Amino acid sequence: MELIGSTLTATYARPKSSCFLPAISTMAASYKSHQPLLALSQNASLPWRNSGMPALGTLHQASPALMRAKSMFYPSNRTALTTRYTPADWHKSNQSNYRDSESTRNSAERLRKDTVRMMQDKDQLTRRTQESTNKNIGERIGDISFWRSELTHEIENMVGEIGALTEVKRRLERALAETEGPLQVSQECLFHREKRMSIDLVHDNVEKDLLREVEVIKSCQERMRRHLDRAIAQLASDRATQHELEKDAGDKVSAYRIDDKCHQLRNQSDGISYHRGVERMDPASHSHSYWWGEHTHLGSALSSESWSKFTDGNILHSQSERATSHKLRDEIEILLNSAYNEMWNQFSNVNVAFTNRMSETADAKNSLQTHLAKTLQEIFQTEMLIESLKKAIRDKENPLKVAQTRLEERTRRPNMELCRDSPHHRLVGEVREIEDTIQKLRERAG
């Protein structure tokens, strides 16, 4: 209830608050800007006024001082009938607050206990997960150590096999190079015997044995070259296999070092930090391709079983290559022995034939020397001609440089001046003409 004259500021005329305590702004505003009471006129109509009550016109007949005293309102003038709430409302509000407080505290207690229990469960789960991860990393380190030792052992075997095959290849190359001397001798003998004139140009036993010797030497050379090519290819394959083994071993050394470092990390270790999003990273974007046999694998696509099969495949491939290399070395050894025997036997036959023919060819010696001298002179003149051709080619270099320099300088002409005019076509023709001349001279010299 409100006093007479305070109808416009009555509590029931305002929106009711959802809580019992007023807002801070309301409390602050309650100490200022009190709206003054308005004096009632004699014609004022009040809703609670009974029509049978006497009129208040007598108020206007009172003294002005009394009217001023009645027109002012003070909080101390409130009576028990002017309070906003009853004691029952006050107790009811307190009981409601108590119930809400107890309910809130119970909910908070349940939430606190559930949170503590969840924290303990998650702590145990985290600890178990970390222990399991440490165990897995330890097992992984053991697997890496095992395969690294296997790779190291296989690398040592492969290095030894490469060294042995390299030595056999060197011997084969040396033997192949040494066959050039006997072949050249046989061919030179045949060449010189072709210089025999007239009736002396006979197909005798010496020529037959020389031709047979050339065939034997070329046959041995062909077999040596085939085995040499096989040895070179096998060495390349062995080195590629060694490279893959070393790469695999190096990767395992790096993986061992990384996993060992990870295995030693603890919650109190230095250097640990957050790496946001690392669990979402795709290892395939950082992977490398590895091969063994006829298959290619991506490191990120390998499972644990495929990982061990990959290294085992590398080792098996290396063992297969070593077996092939060892077999090739045996074949080369057999080839060297057989080629030596064949060439030596034919060499002996040729020497016997020469010994028998020497007495018959004594008269042809001077003729052969004459032909040799003429041949050497022809070779010398040919070489002189080649030198003359080379000099002629060198003499054409400066004109070619001049023509090409002119063409290059004329490319710097600006804008529309850079046209294909008559000097341009003439310079192009000059360059082509000189180049054609040099080409013909080189063909003749070649």
What's the pLDDT tens digit per position in 343-360?
999 999 988 988 887 777
Q: Which residue has the tokens 């085995």?
A: 227
Contact 299, 288 (CB under 8 A): yes
Least-confidence region, from 11-20, 107-116, 319-328 = 11-20
Average pLDDT on 103-115 reads 94
Q: What is the CA radius of gyration of the chain?
A: 58
Q: What is the pLDDT of residue 79?
A: 52
Q: Which helix (H) or strand (E) holds 289?
A: strand 289-292
At 262-287, the pLDDT tens digits run: 888 888 888 888 888 887 776 655 55
Q: Which helix (H) or strand (E) holds 298?
A: strand 295-298
Among 224, 223, 227, 220, CA closest to 182: 220
* Phi and psi at residue 295, to the nearest 5°: -120, 150
Q: What is the DSSP letter of 9?
A: G
Q: Which tokens go with 426?
A: 């003439």
User: In this structure, is the dihedral angle defined by the CA atoms of residues 10, 16, 19 and 22, taken in order, positive or negative?
Assistant: negative
Residues of the chain with CATH 1.20.1260: 112-266+302-360
At 21-72, the pLDDT tens digits run: 444 444 444 444 444 444 444 444 444 444 444 444 444 444 455 455 445 5
Q: What is the pLDDT of residue 206?
A: 84
**Residue 310 to residue 298: CA distance in whole angstroms:** 10
The three-state secondary structure class of 182 is: helix
Q: What is the DSSP letter of 72?
A: -
Q: What is the pLDDT of residue 408?
A: 87
Longest dimension (CA), the chain: 185
**Residue 133 to residue 127: CA distance in whole angstroms:** 10
- Per-residue pLDDT for 15 more than 80? no
Average pLDDT on 67-94 reads 67
- Per-residue pLDDT for 416 more than 70? yes
Q: What is the DSSP letter of 277?
A: T
Among 364, 42, 409, CA closest to 206: 364
Q: What is the pLDDT of residue 66?
A: 47
Q: What is the DSSP letter of 364?
A: G
Return mean pLDDT, the chain.
79
> Which of the following CATH numbers is that of domain 112-266+302-360: 1.20.1260, 2.40.50, 1.10.1740, 1.10.150?
1.20.1260
> 6-15: which pairs have CB atoms within 8 A and are 24 or more residues apart?
6/35, 6/37, 6/73, 8/35, 9/35, 11/84
Residue 377: band (very low, low, confident or very high) from pLDDT cuts 50, 70, 90: very high
Q: What is the pLDDT of residue 282?
A: 65
**Residue 27 to residue 17: CA distance in whole angstroms:** 13
The three-state secondary structure class of 296 is: strand
Q: Give the amino acid at 233.
A: A
Contact 97, 20 (CB under 8 A): yes
**Residue 254 to residue 260: CA distance in whole angstroms:** 10
* Phi and psi at residue 424, to the nearest 5°: -65, -50
Residues sharing a CB contact under 8 Å with residue 210, sequence separation 6 or more, in sequence order: 186, 189, 190, 193, 350
Q: Which residue has the tokens 């053991």?
A: 142
Q: Bridge-partner residues for 295, per DSSP?
A: 292
Contact 392, 419 (CB under 8 A): no
Q: Bridge-partner residues for 291, per DSSP?
A: 296
Q: Give the amino acid at 440.
A: K
Q: Which residue has the tokens 């046989």?
A: 186
**Residue 207 to residue 219: CA distance in whole angstroms:** 18
- Per-residue pLDDT for 5 more than 50? no
> Would you say the pTM of this structure is higher than 0.95?
no
Q: Give the amino acid at 322.
A: R
Residue 215: band (very low, low, confident or very high) from pLDDT cuts 50, 70, 90: very high
Q: Which tokens go with 152?
A: 């190291």
Mutual angle of helices 87-178 and 304-358, in 10-degree steps: 10
Contact 223, 334 (CB under 8 A): no
Q: What is the pLDDT of residue 190?
A: 87
Q: What is the pLDDT of residue 409?
A: 86
- Per-residue pLDDT for 9 more than 60? no
Q: What is the pLDDT of residue 317?
A: 94
At 150-204, the pLDDT tens digits run: 999 999 999 999 999 999 999 999 999 999 998 988 888 888 878 877 876 788 8
Return the higher-pLDDT residue of 72 and 390. Answer: 390
Residue 82: band (very low, low, confident or very high) from pLDDT cuts 50, 70, 90: low
Return the higher-pLDDT residue of 188 and 12. Answer: 188
Q: Which tokens go with 345?
A: 């036997």
Q: What is the pLDDT of residue 74?
A: 52
Q: Which residue has the tokens 């308005």?
A: 38
